[in-house]
Amino acid sequence: MIPSPYLLYLGSSTDELSVKTSRGIAVWRPEVAVGEYRNPDCTVTLGLEHLDFAEAYARGARTLVLGVANAGGIMGPSAKADVLAALAAGLNVAAGLHDRLNDHPDLVAAAEEAGLQLFDVREPPKGLVVGNGRPRAGKRLLTVGTDCSVGKMYTTLALERELHARGLPADFRATGQTGILIAQSGVPIDAVVADFISGAAEMISPARTDDGWDLIEGQGSLFHPSFAGVSLGLLHGAQAEALVMCHEYGRPSMRGLSYRTLPDIGECMEANLAAAALTRPGARFVGIGLNTSRLSDEDALRVCAEAEDKYGLPCQDPLRMGVNRIIDRLLECDATSVAA
C-alpha cells in the first residue's frame, strides 16, 4: 500500500488532460489529497491548496504522487529535480510514468538514504499468463470509448458508486495508473506485453459467484491507431456481458492525433460488439457515458437526450447527472438474461 495522505503533483502542466491522474485522485479520493504542488509556469489547478514539499509533510502528507502524463510517459529534468526535493523533505514518491522511478540510480540512492520508498504504479505484476478465452462465472461490465481520456475511468467508478448505493456488490477493477492509485490495486494494462493483455484482464476479474459485478476500467479505443491493441485485449479478456460507451462531446480530434476525427458513436459500438463476441457472444451495450464538460447544463441535457433518441440507450454525464438510469438498464438486462 502506498502511504497516504498524498501531495498531488501538477509540475509545469499546461494541458488539463495531462493532469488526469492527480485530478482523478482529487475527485474520487479527496480524503487523501492534502494539497497540490505547482511549478510557477503551471497553468492548471485542481482547486486544492498549493503546498511546497516541506509544508505538505508538515500537514501530514506522506507521498508525492506524480499525477501527470506526457507523450511517452517521460520524466523530464524539472520533474526529476522535484522528486529529489520531495524525498529530501521526507515524502515517498509514487508515479505512473513509463519512465520508472526505480530505473534512475540517483533517485533510488536518495530514497534509500532518506529511508523512503519509490512506487512505480505502472509496473505489471510478475507471472502474467496469456488469456485462454474460456467462459468463466460472474457478471462483468467493461467501459469502452471513442478515444483516449474521454471518461472511461470516471464512468466505471460512478457505476460502482451507484451499485453500492443500491446495496449491490460491485468492484472497480483498475487497468490504468490513476485507477490503481484510487483503488490501491489493479494492473497497468498499457504496460503489459501484448501477448498477456487478455490474460491480465482475466486475472483482475476472475470467476465470481456472489452475484456481484466486476466493473472493468477500459483503456484506449479500437479507433485510435496508437492504442487499439490494448482496447482489443481488454475486450477479449474481460468477457463482459455489458458494455458502456464513453465519449466526449465536441472533442475536435483524437487524443494526440490532430489530423484524425473521432468515430461515430454507433460505428464504435458496432466494432466493439463484433470484437467482444469472440469471447462473450451476446455482449450488449447498456448505456452511454457522455463527457459534456464543454457544454452548459442546459446543452448537456439536450445532447444526452438526443443521443438517447438516436441510439436507444440511456445517456448520462456521470459527473453531472450520475448513472442511475444506466444502472437501471444494466439490471433490467441482467434480469432478462437470468430469466432466459
Q: List, for residues 3-46, the tens digit of each pLDDT value.
A: 999 999 999 888 888 898 999 999 999 999 999 999 999 999 99
Distance of CA 316 to CAs 73, 80, 270, Å?
A: 31, 40, 20
139-339 carries CATH number 3.40.50.10190: no
Q: CB of 86 within 8 A of CB of 94?
A: no
Alpha-carbon span 261 to 217, nearest angstrom? 23
> pLDDT band for position 47 (50/70/90)?
very high
Check residue 229 and give its pLDDT: 96
End-to-end, the C-alpha distance of the chain in Å comes to: 43
Check residue 184 and give its pLDDT: 87
Instruction: Say which range, 178-187, 224-233, 244-253, 304-313, has the weakest mean pLDDT.
Output: 178-187
**pTM for the whole thing?**
0.90
The average confidence (pLDDT) of the chain is: 94
Length of the chain: 340
Check residue 72 and give its pLDDT: 52
> pLDDT band for position 152 (50/70/90)?
very high
Q: Which cell numbers in the block locate residue 287?
A: 448505456
Summarised one tens digit per residue, pLDDT across range 97-145 is 888 999 999 999 999 999 999 999 988 989 999 999 999 999 999 999 9
Per CATH, 6-120 and 139-339 having the same topology is answered yes
Q: Which cell numbers in the block locate residue 174?
A: 483498475
> Please, where are the H alpha helices in the chain?
20-28, 53-58, 77-88, 105-114, 152-165, 177-183, 197-204, 228-238, 265-276, 297-311, 318-321, 324-339
Check residue 70 and give its pLDDT: 66
6-120 carries CATH number 3.40.50.720: yes
337 has a pLDDT exceeding 80? no
Q: CB of 34 within 8 A of CB of 51?
A: yes
The one-letter amino acid at 293: S
* In the chain, domain spans: 6-120, 139-339
Q: Which residues of 32-68 are buried (b: 16+ CB within 10 A; e: fewer)?
A: bbbbbbbeeebebebebeebebebbbeeebbbbbbbb
Percent of the chain with pLDDT over 70: 98
> pLDDT band for position 69 (50/70/90)?
confident
- DSSP lists the bridge partners of residue 5 as none
Alpha carbon dihedral 94, 98, 104, 107, in 10-degree steps, equals: -10
